[in-house]
Structure 1
Amino acid sequence: MENEKIPQEMFSPVEMDATKSEQISKPSLNYWQDAWLRVRKNKGAIVSIIILAILIIMAIVGPNITGHGYADQNLKHNNLPPRIPVLENISWLPFDGELTRKNGDTYNAYKVKHVDEYYWLGTDSLGRDIFTRLWKGTQVSLYIAFLAAAIDMIIGVLYGAISGFVGGRTDNFMQRITEILIGIPNLVVVILMIIVLKPGILSITIALTITGWVGMARVVRAQVLKLKSQEYVLAARTLGLSNGKIIGKHLVPNLAGVIIINTMFTIPNAIFFEAFLSFIGLGLQPPHASLGTLIDDGFKVLQLYPYQMIIPAIVISLIMICFNMVADGLRDALDPKMRD
């Protein structure tokens, strides 16, 4: 066996094309394409994006679906339970218009009050359509959250980039200001804003903005301190670029991942803070609707009509969970330290 030779006929030369041997088998991806591929692998983030897209679409078109205004009152139709066509015939679904008394008896509230209309999510104590108010409240809460997050991002990025890039006494002075603002509780700022301004979207947005940008500014400053000594920044200085152009063209684009992640975490915090203010009576005032005001109204009649609180509570929980899931997915995709 050791002396047995393999015949030469069993060998055949491999034909190789020199042009194809150096070809890249996979298409080259830029930073954002690679990040999107990583996000797609995160099933929780993808499901959350889909749910958020549905909620945002409903917040836009939902208030116009039923034909009822969010502030329209009809005391004859007050405290009606959810009732949806077709689904009302399915006994195990809570959309048949029936309520349960304290003694355990059930009755059809629509037949008792002789109401022929359908209220998909019921009505509140003033006869206002909860479906319309729910999506109008979602619209207002998302508007406040996105507006506050955008303002926080702009102020925080500019402040942190300038502080970290300039350094020295300027950085020292700017950081003392942020430390003072961090020491002021948000609730105190909100109360002061309400004393000066009327309770509403403007006062809530200003209160969220006054101290909300500090966290973004500190994160951006820390990253700028790390990046400003990189070779490409030194090369830009050698070529004579001004500090503003170096920050705008070199530093901020390299901080895009950190900025997006922090902004995504800011949005659910702003939604919760707005809901908390409205719940304790320092937010939007009637007849305006937000998720916080809906939860506050439902809490007052929780034992009798639990659906009035459960429905907006489910929506605000979905929004906060989904935004946090998306932020986690973006952090894993955009943070270089999380790469495989």
Structure 2
Amino acid sequence: MKQQEENIDKSLFEPAGVDTFSAEKIEKPSLNYWQDAWLRIKKNKAAVVSLVILFLIVFMAIVGPLISGKDFSTQTTSEANLPPRIQGLEHVSFLPFTGERTLKSGDVVNPYEQKGIDHYYWFGTDNLGRDLFTRVWKGTQISLLIAVVAAVIDLIIGVAYGAISGYFGGKIDNAMQRVLEVLMGIPNLIVVILMILVLKPGIIPIIIALSITGWISMARVVRAQVMKLKEQEYVLAARTLGLSNFKIIFKHMLPNLTGVMIINTMFTIPSAIFFEAFLSFIGLGLQEPQASLGTLIEDGFKSMIAFPYQMVYPAIIISVIMIVFNLVADGVRDALDPKMKD
């Protein structure tokens, strides 16, 4: 027995050497809240593709009106209702860019050759001979401008109103919420139409009309979040240190609501674009020679049977904008929601 014990290597019973430095080393770099959210957004393929498409649309809305070299308001009645024609694609028969038109009789004609026109209109022309390519992207630019400005105004008013109401509570909250209930009881469409009729159609009146009641949903969401956050320990610590109520609201609480505000704003923009298009479609939108996606769809609808391309292109653009904004908003919501963990 003693001989067997002597044959055992005593080094097997020595404690293993532990490298404390390596044990505490963090291999993966630490990420802050926004870096973690960006990583989750990148995993959402639909959101990433939609974001790329959205950037392309915004880019074209900025530079598109300058590409063709034609003015969006210049009328050339001798070149009215020309079909789309693009260099290099005019001889590809299965694409709708040949510059040809099929008559009701079934005959195929080429208005460019009939009128001796040697330049190209990529999206065709409208009934006044204006370049549709330029007008579509100019209309996209104006529609996006109206929607973004209205959404920013909704954000500012809604956040301030909701934060004050939720933080102070009591009689102040009760009075402010009664005002919200009165505004919510009035149909939004009626308020907007009355404002447009009073202020006359235009970019600024439409923005004001969209902003009158558009901030209500933002205010309600922010109020609910502030009522939850004001019971947190860091708010009590700020009060103990003597910070004023407004500093606590706007310096400590609102930064924690950034995700909620971004998400609601992302959903507000496509709603504003659609509402502006609706107003234009019923004749309360922008007036000539200004153009928006709504006015272009309204003009194209009048001649949809004879010249469908006049409505197709702006309809495609507004549809794509609505889809990509909602997909991006869904992706941002999932990424910023702390409960949506992989």
- Into which bin does the TM-score normalised by the smaller protein fall? over 0.9
What is the alpha-carbon distance in structure 1 between the residues aligned to residue 97 and residue 14 of structure 2?
Answer: 76
Choose 175-184 or 31-40, whichever is displaced more: 175-184
- Mapping 1:163-178, distance limit 5 Å: 163-178=165-180
Identify the residue that residue 310 of structure 1 maps to in structure 2.
312
Q: Which amino acid aligns with 1:67?
A: G
What is the alpha-carbon distance in structure 2 between the residues aligned to residue 91 and residue 16 of structure 1?
Answer: 75
1:40 to 42, 48, 64: 42
Identify the residue that residue 3 of structure 2 maps to in structure 1.
none
Q: Which amino acid aligns with 2:148?
A: F
8 Å Cα contact 1:186/1:207 also seen in 2: no
**Structure 2: tracts of 5 or more residues without a match:** 1-6
Q: Deviations over 1:105-162 (max 9, x none)?
A: 2111211121111001100000000000001000000000000000000000000000
Q: CA deviation at 1:267?
A: 0.1
Identify the residue that residue 273 of structure 1 maps to in structure 2.
275
Q: CA deviation at 1:12?
A: 11
Choose 201-210 or 261-270, whichever is displaced more: 201-210
Identify the residue that residue 216 of structure 1 maps to in structure 2.
218
- Mapping 1:109-124, distance limit 5 Å: 109-124=111-126
8 Å Cα contact 1:82/1:97 also seen in 2: yes
What is the alpha-carbon distance in structure 2 between the residues aligned to residue 89 and residue 60 of structure 1?
Answer: 30
Identify the residue that residue 259 of structure 1 maps to in structure 2.
261
What is the alpha-carbon distance in structure 2 between the residues aligned to residue 156 and residue 108 of structure 1?
Answer: 55
1:57 to 56, 59, 68: 59
Q: Deviations over 1:32-70 (max 9, x none)?
A: 000000000001111111001011011111111111111
Identify the residue that residue 205 of structure 2 maps to in structure 1.
203
Q: CA RMSD in A?
A: 1.8
8 Å Cα contact 2:147/2:269 also seen in 1: yes
The structure-2 alpha-carbon separation of the partners of 1:100 and 1:7, relative to structure 1 and needing over 3 Å to count, comes to: farther
SS at match of 2:215: helix
1:128 to 115, 121, 130: 130
Identify the residue that residue 78 of structure 1 maps to in structure 2.
80
SS at match of 1:81: coil
Q: CA deviation at 1:13?
A: 8.8
Q: CA deviation at 1:104?
A: 1.8
Q: Deviations over 1:168-216 (max 9, x none)?
A: 0000000011111111222211222123212111111111100000000
Q: Which amino acid aligns with 1:243?
A: N
8 Å Cα contact 2:138/2:291 also seen in 1: yes
What is the alpha-carbon distance in structure 1 between the residues aligned to residue 50 and residue 230 of structure 2?
Answer: 36
Identify the residue that residue 104 of structure 1 maps to in structure 2.
106
Identify the residue that residue 227 of structure 2 maps to in structure 1.
225
Q: CA deviation at 1:252?
A: 0.3
Q: Deviations over 1:255-296 (max 9, x none)?
A: 011000000000000000000000110010111100000000
SS at match of 1:336: coil
**Structure 1: tracts of 5 or more residues without a match:** none
Q: CA deviation at 1:7?
A: 8.4
Percentage of identical aligned residues: 68
Identify the residue that residue 244 of structure 1 maps to in structure 2.
246
Q: Which amino acid aligns with 1:179?
A: E
8 Å Cα contact 2:61/2:138 also seen in 1: yes
Choose 183-192 or 273-282, whichever is displaced more: 183-192
SS at match of 2:22: coil
Q: CA deviation at 1:17?
A: 2.5
2:330 to 324, 328, 331: 328
**Alignment length, in residue pairs?**
336
Q: CA deviation at 1:249?
A: 1.5
The structure-2 alpha-carbon separation of the partners of 1:8 and 1:266, relative to structure 1 and needing over 3 Å to count, comes to: same
Q: Which amino acid aligns with 1:167?
A: G
SS at match of 2:109: strand
Identify the residue that residue 288 of structure 1 maps to in structure 2.
290
TM-score, normalised on structure 1?
A: 0.95
Q: CA deviation at 1:336?
A: 1.5
The structure-2 alpha-carbon separation of the partners of 1:96 and 1:240, relative to structure 1 and needing over 3 Å to count, comes to: same
1:28 to 30, 33, 41: 30
8 Å Cα contact 2:196/2:209 also seen in 1: no
8 Å Cα contact 1:146/1:267 also seen in 2: yes
